[in-house]
Amino acid sequence: MPHSVPLLNDLLILLLASLPIAFLCSRFRLPVMVGFMLTGVLIGPAGLGLIAQAQEVEMLAEIGVVLLLFTIGLEFSLKRLLEMKRLVLGGGGLQVVLTMLVVLGLCLAVGRSFNQSLFFGFLFALSSTAIVLKSYMDRLEIDTPHGRAGVGILLFQDLCIVPMMLLTPILSGKEGSSFSNIAVRMGTALAVIAGIIVTARTIVPFLLGHIVRLRSPEVFIIFVVLVSLGTAWLTSLFGMSMALGAFVAGLVLSESEYSHQIVSDIMPFRDVFNSVFFVSIGMLLSLGFLLNHLWLVLLWVAALIVGKAVITLLAVRLLGNSLRVATMVGIGLAQVGEFSFILAKVGAAQGLLPTEDYQQFLAAAILSMMATPLLISLAPRLGLFLQAQFSPQSLLEPRLAREAKEGALSNHVIVVGYGLNGRNLTRVLARRGLAYLVLELNAETVRRAREEAVPIAYGDAVRREVLLHAGLQRAAILVLAISDQLASRHAVALARELNPHLYIIVRTRYLSEVSELYELGATQVIPEELETSIEIFARVLERYGVAPDLIQQEAEAVRQAGYEVLRSDTNPKALSCQQ
């Protein structure tokens, strides 16, 4: 009699069903994540029943979330996270507290008990780290203002999982938990995180260095997987999110010289397991319950998405972000998180979540998660629309607005973004005595720069009034040194409309974005992808003693070849700018 392995059977069914649906989603330009979740609905216990038990698949799905957060941590750094502390603590704290208070008030108003109402607040305060971060990564928006704000809030939510899990038994009135017990568990959790950070910064780099000397790719990748899964397992032992432990490990290893190699090695595993995660989410949906209670569930979904979007928008806005950025963050985080499912199971077992409520919650939560990639794709347009309708006329401080209005700012450079590129440019301009004005969306960056007497203002370059108050019509050059490509495109089009003779320089990441920026009115587009490759071979040739003029000739030849595919008779501006 042939031997059957249930997990292998389920995995084969899952992959076989996922391929055609993912193909159709890609063909019709729908997010592949939605396709994976639909696959789960189709093959799950409530669908065709091809996979009757989802528990083993859920175990693989958790590995996908762990690897996703590990790679996200590798792309951050401790220094960068410390710079985001205002977003993590301020934005995340406001979002969680406001959501819990609103849900608490609504549940009390319909006759629920206080403890049950607070538990509902726990469930709805969390958002989906895996889906939001995957969407931002696919859209190259992790490093944008709304991407950083979203990541900060999600990190705070992951930290909140510990007290929520510990408080749930107390809210149910069951024995075995006390506030002193919670204090001990919280202290232990913090000690574990501190221990992971210390270990990852001392012992792990030492071991990694010895493993690299073995020159064995197999041993290297095994060690990396061991670190990511091991830290996730360790944090789970103390009641914390596995994803949080993996993120902390990745965060510390990001400072290692091997971080880029780790990312490239772990990526294939992450993508496969992530797909399993999205399929497992779809498996939880009961089609029978959904069809029998369709309108009630849709009402839950609408209330959930609108309510969380507005609350998160308000929290991000209170931190001083523009309405456009706050709207994009609010829409991005307007769903229930994957950890809420675990919390809901605990609450149901403790009697805090009746069976009917549990099914309604599951259906609404899964539909909100399915809608997330589509909502994130619509968020930029909605953000621009709301900002145009409700944003204040000027976001510049009075002195700068007055100078611009009176003509004190003339023939100056407007620098949008005060990151590394913006700071380097303004230092050179200051040394040469050239007038400039910086527009920046990070309120903390603006505050620090003003303390250094930098002429900087809090303002969004996609706003007509902001550009006018910055003296765009009298400016000589506009430099867009930001990583938000949507904002760059709108700012270029708006600036060209307001000042047809303005010289506009735009920083972009990829060659594929160059053509559209030229068509919108940019004078010069600098793609980092191309310029980085030129810098690399220039350094190599310099090391071999090649003469500087020959290196320059090679650089120009590569630039010519790189831009060649983007030139056409219908885009003379691009051609003239590169010749």
Q: Which CATH number goes with the domain that contains 520?
A: 3.40.50.720
Same domain, 125 and 176: yes
User: Is the Cβ–Cβ distance between 461 and 467 less than 8 Å?
Assistant: yes
Task: Name the more confident of 407 and 560.
Answer: 560
Same domain, 378 and 416: no
At residue 468, the pLDDT reads 82
Same domain, 377 and 411: no
Which H or E run includes 487?
A: helix 485-498
CA 371 – CA 375 distance, rounded (Å): 6
Q: What is the mean pLDDT of the chain?
A: 77
Task: Name the more confident of 564 and 147.
Answer: 147
Q: State if pTM tops 0.85.
A: no
Listed residues 355, 386, 417: the one ending a domain = 386
At residue 576, the pLDDT reads 41
Band of the pLDDT at 76, cuts 50, 70, 90?
low
Same domain, 414 and 530: yes
Three-state secondary structure of 143-212: CCHHHHHHHHHHHHHHHHHHHHHHHHHHHHCCCCCCHHHHHHHHHHHHHHHHHHHHHHHHHHHHHHHHHH
Same domain, 188 and 275: yes
Same domain, 408 and 349: no
Same domain, 429 and 352: no
At residue 247, the pLDDT reads 77
At residue 529, the pLDDT reads 66
Same domain, 477 and 351: no
C-alpha closest to that of 140 among 526, 417, 508: 508
The answer for residues whose C-beta is within 8 angstroms of residue 402's C-beta and 6 or more apart is 408
At residue 311, the pLDDT reads 93
Check pLDDT > 50 for residue 393: no
Structural domain includes residue 141: yes
Check pLDDT > 70 for residue 80: no
Listed residues 335, 362, 386: the one ending a domain = 386
Structural domain includes residue 23: no
Same domain, 99 and 158: yes
Do the bridges between strand 503-508 and strand 456-458 make them parallel or antiparallel, or are there none, so unpaired?
A: unpaired
25-39, 140-154, 257-271, 472-486: range with lowest mean pLDDT: 257-271
pLDDT tens by residue, 216-267? 777 877 887 787 788 878 777 776 667 777 777 777 777 666 666 776 777 7
C-alpha closest to that of 189 among 248, 130, 128, 250: 248
Check pLDDT > 80 for residue 360: yes
Q: Which residue matches tokens 């705070």? A: 156
Q: How far is CA 277 from CA 34, 68, 339, 571, in A?
A: 12, 11, 12, 44
Check pLDDT > 90 for residue 172: no
Same domain, 339 and 196: yes
Structural domain includes residue 375: yes
Listed residues 362, 386, 410: the one ending a domain = 386
* Residue-number span of the structural domain to which 408 is assigned: 398-578
pLDDT tens by residue, 450-488? 888 888 888 788 888 788 888 888 888 898 888 778 888
C-alpha closest to that of 329 among 473, 141, 81, 90: 141
Structural domain includes residue 412: yes
CA 122 – CA 167 distance, rounded (Å): 10
Structural domain includes residue 36: no
What number is the average pLDDT over the span 95-102?
Answer: 91
Q: Which CATH number goes with the domain that contains 364?
A: 1.20.1530.20
Structural domain includes residue 11: no
DSSP codes of every residue in 20-89:
HHHHHHHHTT--HHHHHHHHHHHHSTTTT-SSS--HHHHHHHHHHHHHHHHHHHHTS-HHHHHHTHIIII
Q: Which residue matches tokens 């690299």? A: 212
pLDDT tens by residue, 279-300? 777 777 777 788 888 888 899 8
At residue 572, the pLDDT reads 40
At residue 54, the pLDDT reads 62
Check pLDDT > 80 for residue 438: yes
Structural domain includes residue 18: no
The answer for residues whose C-beta is within 8 angstroms of residue 535's C-beta and 6 or more apart is none
Report the alpha-carbon angle 428-433-437, nearest 5: 75
Structural domain includes residue 118: yes
CA 205 – CA 210 distance, rounded (Å): 9
Total tally of structural domains belonging to the chain: 2
**By percentage, how much of the chain surpasses pLDDT 90?**
4
At residue 562, the pLDDT reads 58
pLDDT tens by residue, 516-573? 888 888 888 887 766 777 777 777 777 777 787 787 777 777 766 655 544 443 344 4
DSSP codes of every residue in 404-438:
HHHT-S-S-EEEE--SHHHHHHHHHHHHTT--EEE
At residue 313, the pLDDT reads 92
Same domain, 300 and 204: yes
Report the alpha-carbon angle 407-408-412, nearest 5: 95
Tokens in use for 150?
């979203």
Same domain, 353 and 250: yes
What number is the average pLDDT over the span 75-93?
Answer: 73
